[in-house]
Copies of this chain bind each other. A is one copy, B any other.
């Protein structure tokens, strides 16, 4: 089923040579001159692999700048690795392009990849480019490594552990609200600075790679927050067979998020159930709590203790929420449903 209609874009091999090969500098990628790449983790290390796909119209807007889409596509994968305590090493890129995507889009997209590569010292290892009528579609497989046996799992949280999150929670979901409703920022009398901060947190998630050694050393379980704090905590509880109590007044909010919630308290629910934060949720035993906090601080990351895990009891809710001592009930469905 070959393609007939012409695009304004150069062909696949020209694109690879011009834009992608310069991103593939490791020996195992042989300048993308082969159909497969060689990658070998360091001695005494294990490979950690993850795959996240982003589809235009589902995970980003078709008119988002490709420079930023690239950073998001790589960032969300590096975020998964970071939560496992894995140092990022490289990635494979699957790219599905619709005919209306021109060379300039690809050039800008690759400029975004390069920025993230340089930031985290990683390489493009290989990939595949296909025609995708409703693209762009991005399918990234990221490779990281951890010393053998030190991977941090989502499903190994235990009763008694304290729950931590990095950074601030809810900014991306609130940013998306602003993005979907041009008038909302005005109605809420939000400052331009706060509005731009939230919009940017949605568009450009920051993978918490700096957290990897603190997580490896002190966390019993961790995951990144992509589906929303409550949904992801639910995944951790369900797979670890524990339950959680969260004090919402301890969930860290940015000034911009606080400003929105001060105008309308319903945005608190958006903040704790909305996706795309890409902060890290970690379970840490109380005896390691101080050391964990110090290690994150030394890595340049803020963190907050938001709750505690206990043994699962079938008759109760998996997650109980309180705000300043009062039980807090959710009104909507918690967390991003993928389809």
Contact = CB atoms under 8 A, between A and B. Distances in A.
Interface residues of A, number: 73
Interface stretch (A48-56, A250-258, A301-309): A48-56
25 contacts: A3-B58, A3-B339, A12-B339, A30-B155, A33-B155, A34-B154, A34-B155, A35-B50, A35-B224, A35-B226, A36-B80, A36-B81, A38-B46, A39-B49, A40-B47, A41-B41, A50-B126, A51-B128, A53-B128, A55-B131, A96-B137, A99-B339, A130-B339, A131-B338, A139-B139
A130 B53 contact: yes
A139 B130 CA distance: 11
A49 B36 contact: yes
A38 B47 contact: yes
Contact of A134 (B9, B94, B127, B134): B134
B41 A154 contact: no
Contact of A2 (B133, B154, B337): B337
Which of A83, A130, A223 counts the most B-chain CB atoms under 10 A from its CB?
A130
A18 B203 CA distance: 33
A148 interface: yes
A151 interface: yes
B92 A33 contact: no
A55 B339 contact: no
Given A35-B223, A83-B35, A154-B34, A129 B339 contact: yes
Interface of A: 1-3, 7, 9, 11-12, 28, 30, 33-41, 46-55, 57-59, 80-81, 83-84, 86, 92-94, 96-97, 99, 125-134, 137, 139, 141, 143-144, 146, 148, 151, 153-155, 176, 223-224, 226, 239, 275, 336-339
Given A38-B46, A51-B126, A154 B58 contact: no
Given A30-B153, A34-B223, 8 more contacts: A2-B336, A7-B339, A12-B337, A33-B155, A34-B239, A36-B49, A39-B47, A49-B141
Given A58-B131, A81-B36, A153-B34, A338 B47 contact: no
Given A47-B41, A141-B51, A339 B9 contact: yes
Nearest to A39: B47
Which of A38, A83, A93 counts the most B-chain CB atoms under 10 A from its CB?
A38
Given A53-B96, A53-B139, A133 B134 contact: yes
B96 A11 contact: no
Contacts of A2: 275, 336-337
Contacts of A37: 48-50
Contact of A130 (B11, B58, B141, B226): B58
A282 B58 CA distance: 42
B36 A48 contact: yes
